[in-house]
Chain A
């Protein structure tokens, strides 16, 4: 059975800076894999390559056996991979519900002609979509805040909304960029519980995360990235106890 998600020999350089150097790794289906490493190790670059925002100089990425090279971002999302952003990038002027509805897969009414000539059909589809979005919001525990503008949501709630937006695309592999950073203890627990619940529902998660406590609690497997190259791979305990990695990551202090 070919790997669920595999990247082989990825090379990406911006001018003189080599962001990814011969970077290869695989992710198992149904597991939570954490991507850790010092800042500038190329974590976000990997996300950009997988989701088709950035074409690598060389190397390939394949998902469930099919190669993603050269595919447009929206085709990759349709194939079942969705991502969130470190700086959230939510639609601030829209309500939480609208943020999720935008991410729902192709809807009737996204074409102007359909909106004009089959308004009733579009209206029905709208209500169905609204219910679906409410279910996604409920799933992440934001049902109560559906009609509030993103501006009025707390930072924790906004983080949950980014995950909801990823879920709304119907993707089975979620690439989460620091979902836990900057959260209060309570919000942290809430999001970790959500990630575990998503895994139990068959989702696969690839999470960029700095907080070692979070990594220890949720990660089935950890990939340690340094200067654009996969240095090590193993269970959280193996990675955190390895002195050499700690040296690179924490500058020696555990």
Chain B
């Protein structure tokens, strides 16, 4: 039973990240392979605050989200100044720089050894340790994220972002501040990623740079692409499906030496196939 609970918890956390990536890449149209870095920063901040008993879980999550909001906005600003393709390299650069910092700043992030022994989350004084409590916490956070995402997309903000995606110039001509709208989208994406980081740190009780590297960002992109861009359904289906893949693969017993590389191979094939035949993913709109 624990397995399904931890699978659901991890999937819920990745849904929050899916929402974050979807907001940035799908809706605001800003290419990003550095969401895992922001996710990591959120995780390290909450871990640091909890391990040194500076504050309890909820305030730590708020601090982490606020920091990630600022960080994501800072990261996205070049995208607004630099033309599309240049930002691709900047985004790769930001991810690799973040990984270098996570790995080498031993004082702050425990460096390559990672941070073991992160205290579990506590809500209103009650520590949540068992898988049952954790899954409730994460699914609850996921639900909150989805409601927020749904509200945003229904509100004028969502319509504004959809219009910006089609023709920025026309939106500016209609008297709207395009820059502010994009920055708000990046801010929301940062909040989602930061809170997801906090949940991840307390769920695993051990984090190290390998969970926030370039492969993690590419996996996030794959989840959005396969699940479906720009929609709530897409951001939910993607993570649940792709996290199940490794498990499904081990059921069909191909020799374990090949099985491992095969899974990464399938991610690659999925990316190509969906881009060729179904760019809008399972439940999304055209990228």
Contacts and interface: CB of A to CB of B under 8 A. Distances in A.
Given A73-B173, A90-B170, 13 more contacts: A74-B172, A78-B175, A82-B173, A89-B167, A91-B166, A91-B170, A102-B176, A103-B175, A110-B156, A119-B151, A126-B156, A129-B156, A168-B174
A101 B175 contact: no
Contact of A111 (B157, B159, B162, B174): B157
Q: Is the interface of B mostly helix, strand, loop or mixed?
A: helix
A105 B166 contact: no
Contacts of B148: 116
B193 to A, nearest CB: 15
Contacts of A242: none
Interface stretch (B44-52, B89-97, B180-188, B237-245): B180-188
Nearest to A93: B166
A78 B174 CA distance: 10
B155 interface: yes
Interface in B167-208: 167, 169-177, 181, 184-185, 187-188
A129 B188 CA distance: 25
Interface residues of B, number: 28
6 contacts: A74-B177, A102-B171, A107-B156, A109-B156, A110-B181, A115-B154
Interface of A: 51, 53, 72-74, 77-78, 82-83, 85, 89-94, 98-99, 101-103, 105, 107-112, 114-116, 119, 122, 126, 129, 165, 168-169
B218 interface: no
Contact of B184 (A103, A107, A112): A112
From B148, B163, B184, name the one whose CB has the most chain A CB atoms within 10 angstroms. B163
B271 interface: no
B160 interface: yes
A109 B152 CA distance: 8
A74 B171 CA distance: 9
A85 B155 contact: no
B69 to A, nearest CB: 11
A85 B156 contact: no
B166 A92 contact: yes
